[in-house]
């Protein structure tokens, strides 16, 4: 993610269908959570 200078991670329904999403285990801070969409801040 550093390679692309990503600052946030978007996780919605289609991401959950395609990938095994385990963001909660990573310790990333949650900044948005509504209607099945979570957005996390990427910390370096």
pLDDT at 25: 73
pLDDT at 4: 87
| 25 domain residue, yes or no | yes
| 20 domain residue, yes or no | yes
With vertex at residue 5, the alpha carbon angle to CA 43 and CA 17, rounded to the nearest 5 degrees, is 80
| 1 domain residue, yes or no | no
Structural contact between residues 12 and 6, judged by C-beta atoms closer than 8 angstroms: no
Number of domains comprising the chain: 1
| 2 domain residue, yes or no | no
Return the number of other C-beta atoms located less than 10 Å from residue 42's C-beta: 14
Residue closest to 14 by CA, chosen among 36, 33, 39: 36
Q: Which of the residues in the chain have pLDDT under 50?
A: none
| 24 domain residue, yes or no | yes
Residue range(s) defining the domain that contains residue 16: 8-41
| 3 domain residue, yes or no | no
DSSP letter assigned to residue 19: S
């Amino acid at each position: 993610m550093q390679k692309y200078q990503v600052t946030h991670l978007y996780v919605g329904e289609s991401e959950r269908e395609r990938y095994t999403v385990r963001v909660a285990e990573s310790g990333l801070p949650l900044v948005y959570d509504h209607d099945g969409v979570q957005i996390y801040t990427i910390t370096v």
